[in-house]
Amino acid sequence: MTTMRRTLSGIKPTGQPHLGNYLGMIKPALALQQTREAFYFIADFHALTTVRDAEVMREQSYELVATFAALGMDFERHAFFRQSDIPEVTELAWMLSCVTPMGLLERAHAFKDARGRNQEINHGLFAYPVLMAADILIYDSHEVPVGRDQKQHLEMTRDIAQSFNRVFGETLVIPEAVIGEEVATIPGIDGRKMSKSYGNELPLFSTGKQLRKAVMRIVTDSKTVEDVKDPETCNVFKIFTHFASKAAQNEWAARYRAGGMGYGEIKQATFEAIDAEIAPFREGYFEIRRDTARMEQILAQSAAKARKIARGVMDRVREKAGYTVGYSVGYSVGTTAG
């Protein structure tokens, strides 16, 4: 048994990962692999509330494997797997749903937003926080690196785990959210939170040309070149700060305040700063993205590792609640993938 703390996080296969995902979740999560056991997964069952095409689900899942591989995830020491390859997760989700008050779920931001916009709401969307709690609790996770928008989901996970423990006795590990304050919410090209649902993203892996084009589209105010400008309220500058040294930030901030600097200039500098960080991984990304066999092999090997932990926890949970223990032994992961 490992004594290292376990870090876990999930990301939905809902499109090309963007720089908000990278700064808010992917980069901090990958940094944690130095000191923690890292379990990261593709939240493909969560994506089912919106992705209804098998081919799209498969391809978008591969985007994430290639992304984590290119950025240096160590699959030998850690695990990167599909949520749907671990059936114990949905089993635990049912059990947790039976100790989760409806009122808790009715307070979820995502649910309230959808209802506020008169969107059609399915039960999967309503129960989303319960499945997410199961994702986290099934691996005895200690830490969960996420962007700030996931804070409420983590609080709900803790509430649900405590509620289970109150009913059945100490069973589940209570996890903690790891939210980097300075990267909490990255703005998109229109200034709102960068999100696939707003179509305002800067892509993580695209060609340099596409990245530059996206950076040039970042919305600014209409001040002229001569005008004195405020770096604090400028979206371009906010993004720039995440990729530039402190010295470069100070230098550009002074140029904003002095006047005589056009937004085109800081956009070019921002593109160059992002590109300097991302470009070294680009080729590796495109290479592994083409290698389906390699990606499947990573997923199968990781799922086997994750499933072992999940079964152990599930046995503990089943025992506490009065169900058969050890019934699932014998099922092997990845039998259809060969």
CB of 152 to ligand ADP, least distance (A): 11
Q: Which residue has the tokens 């990729």?
A: 243
28: partner contacted, choices ligand ADP, ligand TRP, none (Cβ within 5-8 A by kind): none
135: partner contacted, choices ligand TRP, ligand ADP, none (Cβ within 5-8 A by kind): ligand TRP
CB of 50 to ligand ADP, least distance (A): 9
CB of 244 to ligand TRP, least distance (A): 27
Q: Which residues inside 2-61 make contact with ligand TRP, applying CB under 6 A?
A: 9-12, 43, 46
CB of 49 to ligand ADP, least distance (A): 12
- As a whole number of angstroms, the distance between CA 218 and CA 236 comes to 7
- Cβ proximity to ligand TRP, 10 vs 187, nearer residue: 10
136: partner contacted, choices ligand ADP, ligand TRP, none (Cβ within 5-8 A by kind): ligand TRP
Q: Which residues inside 115-134 make contact with ligand TRP, applying CB under 6 A?
A: 132
10: partner contacted, choices ligand ADP, ligand TRP, none (Cβ within 5-8 A by kind): ligand TRP
CB of 13 to ligand TRP, least distance (A): 10
Q: What is the dihedral of CA 58, 64, 67, 68, to 10 degrees?
A: -130
If one asks whether residue 195 binds ligand TRP (CB under 6 A), the answer comes out as no
- Cβ proximity to ligand TRP, 150 vs 235, nearer residue: 150
x/- map, 138-177, ligand TRP, by CB under 6 A:
------x-x---x--x------------------------
- As a whole number of angstroms, the distance between CA 97 and CA 38 comes to 26
Please give the size of the binding site for ligand TRP, defined by CB under 6 A. Answer: 13
- Cβ proximity to ligand ADP, 23 vs 269, nearer residue: 23
CB of 242 to ligand ADP, least distance (A): 10
| Token pair belonging to 188 | 């998109």
Q: Three-state secondary structure along the chain? A: CCCCCEEEEEECCCCCCEHHHHHHHHHHHHHHHHCCEEEEEECHHHHCCCCCCHHHHHHHHHHHHHHHHHCCCCCCCCEEEEHHHCCHHHHHHHHHHCCCCHHHHHCCHHHHHHHHCCCCCCHHHHHHHHHHHHHHHCCCCCEEECCHHHHHHHHHHHHHHHHHHHHHCCCCCCCEEECCCCCCCCECCCCCECCCCCCCCCECCCCHHHHHHHHHCCCCCCCCCCCCCCHHHCHHHHHHHCCCCHHHHHHHHHHHHHCCCCHHHHHHHHHHHHHHHHHHHHHHHHHHHCCHHHHHHHHHHHHHHHHHHHHHHHHHHHHHHCCCCCCCCCCCCCCCCC
35: partner contacted, choices ligand TRP, ligand ADP, none (Cβ within 5-8 A by kind): none
- Cβ proximity to ligand TRP, 131 vs 300, nearer residue: 131
Among the listed residues 38, 57, 93, 136, the single contact to ligand TRP using CB under 6 A: 136
Interacting residues toward ligand ADP by CB under 6 A: 11-12, 14, 20-21, 23-25, 146-147, 149-150, 185-186, 193-197
64: partner contacted, choices ligand TRP, ligand ADP, none (Cβ within 5-8 A by kind): none
Cβ count near 62 (within 10 Å): 19
CB of 174 to ligand ADP, least distance (A): 20
Residue nearest to ligand ADP (CB): 24
Among 136, 138, 124, smallest CA distance to 9 is for 136
- As a whole number of angstroms, the distance between CA 307 and CA 330 comes to 12
Query: Which residue ranges make up the site for ligand TRP (CB under 6 A)?
Result: 9-12, 43, 46, 132, 135-136, 144, 146, 150, 153
